[in-house]
Structure 1
């Protein structure tokens, strides 16, 4: 029965063609009433349910499965017996905003059934009453090339407006049977030849002979250039390919993609040549040094387009594949140092999906030795002066004041004339300037899609670790 009540049904003489059932290849939409012994046509223009828009994508889909999808989207539950529908029928239909009636008309074409509705809101598929026997004939002939008479095997011959078609055999002959009696247009076509068509009169029980002579025709084909900018299945590659997915990149609290792949992909050498927070400088190497006066960086393709890996957010990367051997040769001279194929994340069909991730890290200075305190520095200054043949800079009294951290400064013993003061307090200036930094990163993504499109939006906010100098704080 109908899951959603049928509303707005009416019947009229102009709603549908009500003639001989055999004249219509599609289903008829009928309304069964107690007042009439035979169902009457439904006015499709006044039925809200039959005009409801659908979005369908059927590719060799079984007929029953296609009907189930139409019923689900339309809010219908069609009732029919198993023997009503033809077995092993496949449906091919792709359409957006197609009406329920049009969808049923398409998938039930030549099925020999009608859709019958009742006043209480039920819909049933019933076999159409048999009409008079259809008178049939056949069409046969030969397809050759014009001028020389060369046979054209594999030429396609079609009866226009029907699903009747045939292919010429090795001798150029073809035959189409079960052609309804009447006048038809028959077309023959083959690649490299101009299509030809003619009008044919088919008589009952007779074979109509139609021969075609096709004229050669120059066709312009698009030039195919194998640039390699695209995706290739792993089994289609002839060389070894190293690759990683998104998990190793997302699990590391790193904001630079080059830093994220450091030590992760075999054979990929990533070197850091700068340490300024947020603007680190990296170099990438796959095949070693190949030039003494040029760069050795590999070709980076982001979704098939050359780009810079360091400008890409690691959270937006789906996979990274590395081509180092002959597999990179299809990319030309620019692939002399190898190729990195980067695939970014894509939206998937379904409702909008939001993801949020955040990470925090502490950055600190590395590779520095411990700094001596003021008293140790004063002792070393005195020793340096003595070894240099000069008098010690710090007297025993000054050394004692340095050791205890006397808060009262005095004019500098050597540079006092220029206004410099000597402080005795113990201050670790390197620690004050290069203090630890705290960096944060927030990433927000939105993805989704429909039947024919998808989307993936992402944004991230990065606050690098900040090391305030003593001058900035003062």
Structure 2
């Protein structure tokens, strides 16, 4: 009995709110009024609050009516007819905005559901990101690979991304259910990385190692090889201590500063021989591996407390001889010179 009474009460309130929004009336002092006065009359004589952007329309524009008593709906329709503006009633709030924005507010949402699996074995993929292309609207698949997302256009494109899998973009084309199969991205897992005791495939690594190819270093120009490592390996910071020509090498720190009293520089091995990374021509570098954690540096002992940088230089190859030429010229000028006394 109580539930039935509550249902009837809620239904009555909803109906009365709808009727109120359609039939609420205002009385005007004359048949000619400015837009601003009409908006003020709506807020004073009804329970509506009107929301709009200042300067969006001319509040001093004079509008003529055939009567001095009319409904809110008729008043707003007459005011904005042919102006490109429209209105939307949401409970006791009236929003005034361009007609295109109002259309977007009233546009019916389409619910899209689906399931994402591994195309190789058919297993569900939980945690896959499903995003409406060109927007920030998105969801994640649940433990069974299922997802549910609301869109505004039946031809919207959904973007599916997941770590270790190839990104997919699927256009709905009117469909409301999607069965998506993602392919594994394996191109980076076969990359060879140099570690302290030889070489390993990237897929088999358990320690923290960053690998940088020589081609990546040559994509930028720098006077010293050490400065080329800035921004190419996670956890590696390079700070330039001086602008003096020949002394403008970078100070390398791996995962921050490990000591306040002793050296914080990592151990640099060039073809398994300790050396200075700035003594190596960037054009001669095949790859650089940065060993950052204890598991990667354990083989080198206490000298590797601050990390290890392994530099592998290029080797001769069987085939025709090739010659390449590259030059880099830079000019340094002081930004400011102090004024000194003469004599």
TM interval, shorter chain, is 0.3 to 0.5
Return the structure number with greater helix share.
2
TM-score (norm 2): 0.39
Q: Which has the larger radius of gyration?
A: 1
Calculate the TM-score normalised by the size of structure 1: 0.29
